[in-house]
Amino acid sequence: MTQIISSLSRSVIPAPMAGGPTTPELVRAAHAAGSFGTLGLGSASIDSARTQIDQCAGIPFGVNLFCPQQPLSKPQLEAARELARAENQPLPEPNYSFDFEEKLELALRGGARVVWSMFGTFTSHQLERIHAAGAEAWTTVTTPAEAIAAARGGVDTLCVQGPDAGGHRGTWDLAATPSSLPLEKLVAEVHAVAPEHPIIAAGGLRTAEDIVTALSWPGVIACSCGSAFLLAREAGTSDYNRRLICNGGKTVTTRAFSGRYARGLETYYTRSHPNLPPVYPLLNPVLKERRAQHDDAVAYCLVGTEVEKINGGTVADILNQLCQNPN
């Protein structure tokens, strides 16, 4: 058990959702309700990251960061250029670092209790800095191989993300096809290769029954829920995406949202681009103008399975629903 998790009165923590849904208000509300919130700063600007961290001062909080990505290959860049030409849009210079080092420094100076990595894990030097600051290092994994690498590297906790999760899959390899292994089996395989490491289960957990079941799996000490909080009063989910979620529909896992595998509500664009190559992070800028105009054909509503089970209310309301005794 980690110090952070053991200090909580809740077994559910809101997942860090980049791009707006996870706000400082949501993080503070989670803390007030006995849980723990983590800012999703992977795609945030430095100024936005600084502001959000400052707004969490005085409470325990975490930050989630995107690990630096290898530059796209020439064929991948050319594929991105073709997509941009089709939309008559310029192709920006990609930021492959996601300002990881700068945001890590801001997080540690700002008192973050957890630094949580996505799309990879920490270097030994980064882990030394995190632990020297009295913080914990958590890493999202989607395969046993990733779990072994993270555990051997020295992280404190593994967040095991299954295929029903909304948002981006945490695969470390941009070009890899994510595993479709159900969350329960994935957790079992990760626990088998890293039995000493506590596990946070994530992906498609929607009800109190789901939470009780997941907590019975070997190694699991808590559950992370993202989509369950998208309609929370304190969430930064746009009015447009709130409407899309309330309308429901089929969710799909595809690169056609961002150029990296992610799950969201199916659109005309996802149907017409079933084999989109890995062009992350360049697809969002290409479609930014149409998305700003709320063009349903290219909607960017990342959400997990069973959309119809997502409820509104406050963060405390949702935690009460998820953590109640199902019997």
pLDDT at res. 327: 41
Position 120 pLDDT exceeds 50: yes
- CB of 81 closer than 8 Å to CB of 103: no
Residue 224: closest CA among 241, 199, 246, 248: 199
| 58 Cβ contact list (under 8 Å, min separation 6) | none
Kindly state the helix (H) or strand (E) to which residue 133 belongs, with its residue range: none
* pLDDT at position 2: 85
Spacing of C-alpha 192 from chain mean position = 24
Q: Which of 71-85, 215-229, 311-325 has the lowest mean pLDDT?
A: 311-325
Instruction: Give pLDDT tens digits for 128-165.
Output: 999 999 999 999 999 999 999 999 999 999 999 999 99
Alpha carbon of 185 to those of 188, 191, 218, 302: distances in Å? Answer: 5, 10, 11, 24
In 94-179, which residue ranges form alpha helices assigned H by DSSP? 100-109, 124-132, 144-153
Inter-CA distances, 156 with 236, 268, 302, Å: 29, 41, 28
Give the separation between CA 237 and CA 69, rounded to whole angstroms.
26
Structure confidence by residue, pLDDT tens digits, 95-113: 999 999 999 999 999 999 9
Residue 259, sorted as left (phi over 0), alpha (psi -120 to 50) or beta, turns out to be: left
User: Quick one: tokens of 180?
Assistant: 């479709």
Domains of the chain: 3-71+96-238+310-323 (3.20.20.70)
* Strand residue runs (E) in the chain: 12-14, 38-40, 62-66, 114-118, 136-141, 157-161, 167-168, 199-202, 220-225, 251-254, 262-265
In this prediction, residues 297-323 reach a mean pLDDT of 97
Q: Please give the pLDDT value at position 325.
A: 58
